[in-house]
Amino acid sequence: MTEDPTSERIPPRGGVLRPAADVPQGSVESLLNTILRGPVEPLEITAAHRALLTALDEALERARTEGDTGALLDVHRSAYTVYEGLLGHPLGIAVHERSAWLNAFRWTYEEAVLRTDTAAIADRLPGPREATRPEFVRDWFLTEAKERNELDRLVETHLAERATMAQLAQFIQADGYLNYRFFDALVLAQPHFMETVKHEISHHLWDECGEGEQRRAHTLQFTRSLRTLGLSLPTVPPWEDWRPYAGHNLYFVLACNRRNHFKALGSLAMPELFDVDRDAAVVSGLERHGYGAQQDFEFFYNHMEGDAEHGPEWLDGVVLPIVAAEPEAGLELVTGGALRMLAMRRYNEYLADLLGVTEVAAERTS
């Protein structure tokens, strides 16, 4: 059976640029969007480009030294616009993809993200010698993915036991953008390193595509989840917070750079190991409100079982063979995994704020 063509989520030709009236003047986002709406200048760095790169440097510095959340939102939302342009409509702002200024923007942003976040996860990393042992690396992934801090537990418990239907709808809509792009992150990680690795990623892609049955494609399953709730995804995410943007962007910071290939694979392993409990919590919450998750929200129901299989398969089919063939890649894989866990913990902090989880917990203990 052919899926209704209206269920296809086609990237907007104009990208994800917000209206100029909604963007603060002089921000990184405003300078970026003006350039993206303008002519293509592949080699020349103009005064407008230099102004953008200066604004980016200054915002990154405020974020680093002052923890300026407004600067963080400006920077990460702007980078999201860039990645969506590169991955989005081929006749849209992707025409800028080889421009010198865009490469300079990406280099500046990506280096800052990796430098800052790698420092933040330094205490989670094993020693270089330990990370050359395949079985050690496998066990490290399993241990890290199953660790839950207080906030992780609060968010999952809230989704399963206390979240209103409106809050579950908020969660599902906020989570949607990555679910439509996860396939692309997998594709970008597939260029050849080992046949064994290509086989495992291909197997995963086949599953994402519904194993040849269009209606079972994961993106279309998610579309039906949205429609069950009368929702759709706005062109621009409703995230007035830097943390979901940063977590989304991390997939492409890693996957769009060949030198980060092993980090990208390590980062992709973590959701397959971490998300099973999250999906189960969402299913419990939906069923608590009277839905039959298997019929009404198949995306989340199917991922409980699918991710439970994908995680170990990814470890055995990607992580172990790579470390056995190239021991120095072990630390890269682990670093990617730790970066993804950092991003997911930040996202949990965002969810706790969005859903009022910390306030509810405080009331229950007072």
Q: What is the largest CA-CA distance in the chain?
A: 61
224 plus 348 within the same structural domain: yes
> Which residue do the tokens 């709808």 mark?
169
pLDDT at 272: 87
Q: Is the pLDDT of residue 308 over 90?
A: no
24 plus 71 within the same structural domain: yes
Contact by Cβ (8 Å): 116, 139: no
243 plus 292 within the same structural domain: yes
52 plus 143 within the same structural domain: no
Q: Give residue 20's domain range.
A: 5-120
Task: Report H helices in the chain.
Answer: 28-36, 47-66, 69-87, 100-120, 134-146, 150-157, 165-188, 195-208, 218-228, 242-255, 261-288, 293-296, 298-314, 320-325, 329-355, 357-365
C-beta pairs of 91-95 under 8 Å, 24+ apart in sequence: 91/13, 92/11, 92/12, 92/13, 92/14, 92/15, 93/14, 93/15, 93/17, 93/36, 95/40
Q: Is the pLDDT of residue 296 over 70?
A: yes
Q: What is the per-residue pLDDT across 129-141, written as a single tens digit (0 to 9) for each?
A: 999 999 999 999 9
Q: For 308-316, what is the mean pLDDT?
A: 82
Contact by Cβ (8 Å): 245, 302: no
115 plus 145 within the same structural domain: no
CATH code of 222's domain: 1.20.910.10
133 plus 253 within the same structural domain: yes
Average pLDDT over the chain, rounded to whole? Answer: 92
State how far the Cα of 294 lies from the Cα of 300, in Å rounded to an integer: 8
Contact by Cβ (8 Å): 84, 29: no
Question: CA 18: distance to chain centroid?
Answer: 20
223 plus 351 within the same structural domain: yes
pLDDT at 35: 97
Q: pTM of the entire structure?
A: 0.94
Please give the structure tokens belonging to residue 277: 């409990």
At 129 the three-state DSSP class reads coil
Please give the structure tokens belonging to residue 21: 């009236």
| Stretch among 132-146, 204-218, 351-365 having the lowest mean pLDDT | 351-365
Q: Is the pLDDT of residue 365 over 50?
A: no
Which amino acid is it at 127?
Answer: G
Q: What is the per-residue pLDDT across 238-275, written as a single tens digit (0 to 9) for each?
A: 999 999 999 999 999 999 999 999 999 999 999 988 88
Q: Which residue, 65, 90, 120, sits at the end of a domain? A: 120
| Percent of the chain clearing pLDDT 70 (strictly above) | 95
198 plus 335 within the same structural domain: yes
Q: What is the per-residue pLDDT across 207-243, written as a single tens digit (0 to 9) for each?
A: 999 998 998 999 999 999 999 999 999 999 999 999 9
> Which residue do the tokens 């390590």 mark?
266
Contact by Cβ (8 Å): 253, 199: no
Q: Is the pLDDT of residue 163 over 80?
A: yes
Q: Which residue, 120, 144, 162, sits at the end of a domain? A: 120
Q: Which residue, 97, 120, 143, sits at the end of a domain? A: 120
Q: Is the pLDDT of residue 359 over 80?
A: no
Question: CA 102: distance to chain centroid?
Answer: 21
36 plus 143 within the same structural domain: no
Contact by Cβ (8 Å): 44, 64: no
290 plus 350 within the same structural domain: yes
Q: Is the pLDDT of residue 26 over 70?
A: yes
Total of domains in the chain: 2
Q: For 141-165, what is the mean pLDDT?
A: 94
pLDDT at 257: 95
Give residue 366's pLDDT band: very low, low, confident or very high (50, 70, 90). Answer: very low
Q: What is the per-residue pLDDT across 84-111, written as a single tens digit (0 to 9) for each?
A: 999 999 999 999 999 999 999 999 999 9
Give residue 42's pLDDT band: very low, low, confident or very high (50, 70, 90). Answer: confident
Q: Crossing angle for the helix pair 261-288 and 150-157, nearest 10 degrees?
A: 40
Q: For 274-293, what is the mean pLDDT?
A: 92
Distances (CA, A) of 137 to 65, 195, 210, 290: 34, 20, 30, 42
State how far the Cα of 148 lies from the Cα of 161, in Å rounded to an integer: 17
Q: What is the per-residue pLDDT across 334-348, written as a single tens digit (0 to 9) for each?
A: 999 999 999 999 999
State how far the Cα of 365 lies from the Cα of 344, in Å rounded to an integer: 26
185 plus 109 within the same structural domain: no
258 plus 353 within the same structural domain: yes
| Eight-class DSSP state of 21 | G
Burial 168-203 (b: 16+ CB within 10 A, else e): bbbbbbbbbbbbebbbebbebbbeebeebbeebbee
pLDDT at 303: 85
